[in-house]
Amino acid sequence: MVRIAVIGANGGIGSKVVELGLNKGFHITAIVRDPSRITITHPELEVVQCDILKKERIAGVLSGQDVIVSAIGSNSLKETVLYSKGVENIIASMQDNDVKRGLFVSASGLEVNPTHSFLIRFATKHILQRILRNMYTDLTRMEAIIKRSNIDWTIVRPPRLTDQPVTGKYREAVNKILDNPKTISRANVAHYIVDHLMDARIMKATVEIAD
């Protein structure tokens, strides 16, 4: 049985990864700060309370896992190290527990996509990147930490997220810019992750996905 640890399992993407993974018959360890927010029950679901910013707390949680999915996130616009320090601790724990495979959710807005219209490019650079500058700064640090590691990583970069249902239909670009990405549902991001857990084609690669 495939064993997956989902970090940020009560978020929009993480909760869908949990749901889809259980539907495929995987054992899911849901790692969250607040277990009370996990409302589903399942024989193959284990809920673990953990603060990933505390290295000693995450150190033993990942033992025996096959895949780590990081779907951590924050709604705060303040300066943060949640992504960079959190992922640094996650990767250290993966290495300590000999877990090789990890998929990490980032954001396509870190770069201005040249295939977008002038208006969208302008809005990305002068509005979105300014409003989310603290989040994006830390996501950039996070991606650098991931790329320096020796794990079999995949960085998944979605554009604007929606709450539409899963369709399993989306476009992808591996290690290159995706043409005119605008939106994708959180459910479809989760579907992509669960469907590509062990895809060697996207290991040590950055993937942009969109509807």
Show the tokens assigned to 159: 């554009």
The enclosing domain of 127 has a CATH number of 3.40.50.720
Please give the pLDDT value at position 99.
96
> Which residue in 175, 169, 182 sits closest to 202, CA to CA?
175
> Which residue in 144, 142, 62 sits closest to 98, CA to CA?
62
d(CA 121, CA 113): 7
Residue with tokens 């970090």: 7
Instruction: Dump pLDDT digits (tens) for 95-150.
Output: 999 999 999 999 999 999 999 999 999 999 999 999 999 999 999 999 999 999 99
Domain that holds residue 198: 3-210
Q: What is the 8-class DSSP label of residue 110? A: G
Angle (CA) 16 18 20, round 5°: 65
Above 90 in pLDDT, residue 57?
A: no
pLDDT, mean of residues 37-62: 91
Q: Tell me the backbone φ, ψ of residue 34, rounded to 5 degrees.
A: -130, 95
Number of folded domains that form the chain: 1
Phi-psi region of 95 (alpha: psi -120 to 50; beta: other; left: phi over 0): alpha
Provide the 10 A C-beta neighbour count for residue 65: 23
Q: What is the pTM of this model?
A: 0.95
pLDDT band per the 50, 70, 90 thresholds, residue 73: very high
